[in-house]
Amino acid sequence: MAPEPVSYLTLARAAQASIEVKRSRFLATLEPVADEAAARAVVERMRREHWDARHHCSAFVLGADGSVQRSSDDGEPAGTAGAPMLEVLRGAGVSDTVAVVTRWFGGVLLGAGGLVRAYGDAVRAGLEEAGTLRRTLLREQLLVLDHADAGRVESELRARGVAVLSVDYAERVRLLVGVPAGEEAGLTATVAGLTGGAVVPVPAGERWVS
């Protein structure tokens, strides 16, 4: 089995881009989404907003490993819309992303090759508008510290680039930090050095951060 990915690319923001080919207008809508229901909701929203368009073709890639991939030609000849749209998303390496291309027919038939190029170009234009960002898997580690040490340890960890996720002041200070997968041992060594071996980080979960 392939190892679980510890980072992946997704869209930096939702975006739209429009191109025109032989009087047909293609509006690409790209949005970051968390799951298949959210992706399909974007498709349905485009159908409602642009009810006068003939086609609302779509493609989406989901999951840190991009394992969920779907596409729809929505009435265009098979393989001329959804598949090339999906190919552009895969080529860009993005996941948790949906693309919807809404087409208003301009009266001139484009042929299979023309449709493939138009739908692919529309998604490429949308990707340029959206930009990308990297999401990284952080392993959460809990440190339980005395009040006298907490401020110093927190500032030292921040100075070393460790993500401090939360600080809870009670009888003792609970400091939740995150490190990239595979760097847990380095954190343990750093914390041992800062606390004279008195504090050992305890695994507390994981989260994806942008």
Domain range annotation of the chain:
7-130, 134-209
Q: Above 80 in pLDDT, residue 4?
A: no
Residue 209 burial (CB count, 10 A) = 13
Asked if 82 and 57 count as a contact pair (C-beta separation under 8 A), the reply is yes
- Topology annotation, domain 7-130: Ribosomal Protein S5; domain 2 (3.30.230)
**Minimum mean pLDDT among 113-117, 190-194, 205-209: which range?**
205-209
Per residue in 183-203, pLDDT (tens digit) is 899 999 999 999 998 899 999
Q: How high does pLDDT run on average in the chain?
A: 93
**Structural contact between residues 185 and 175, judged by C-beta atoms closer than 8 angstroms:** no
Which residue type does 51 have? W
pLDDT of residue 34: 93
Distance (Å) of CA 74 to CA 69, 118, 124, 196: 16, 15, 19, 64
Pick the CATH number of 134-209 from 1.10.150.120, 3.50.50.60, 3.40.50.620, 3.30.70.240: 3.30.70.240
- Is residue 73 scored above 90 in pLDDT? yes
12-46 pLDDT, tens digit per residue, is: 999 999 999 999 999 999 999 999 999 999 999 99
For 67-89, what is the mean pLDDT?
Answer: 96
Q: What is the largest CA-CA distance in the chain?
A: 76
Q: Identify the weakest region by mean pLDDT among 36-45, 53-62, 107-116, 119-128.
A: 107-116
Categorize the per-residue pLDDT at 74 as very low, low, confident or very high, splitting at 50, 70 and 90. very high
**Cβ–Cβ under 8 Å, residues 130 and 100:** no
pLDDT of residue 2: 56
Instruction: Please give the Cα distance from 64 to 8 (Å, whole number).
Output: 6
- Residue burial 3-14, b: 16+ Cβ < 10 Å; e: rest: eeebebbbbeee
Cα 109 to Cα 111: distance, rounded to the nearest angstrom:
6
Among all chains, which residue has been given the structure tokens 């739209």? Answer: 16
Lookup: tokens for 173:
């200070």
Residue type, 21: V
Amino acid at 105: F
Mean pLDDT of 139-156: 92
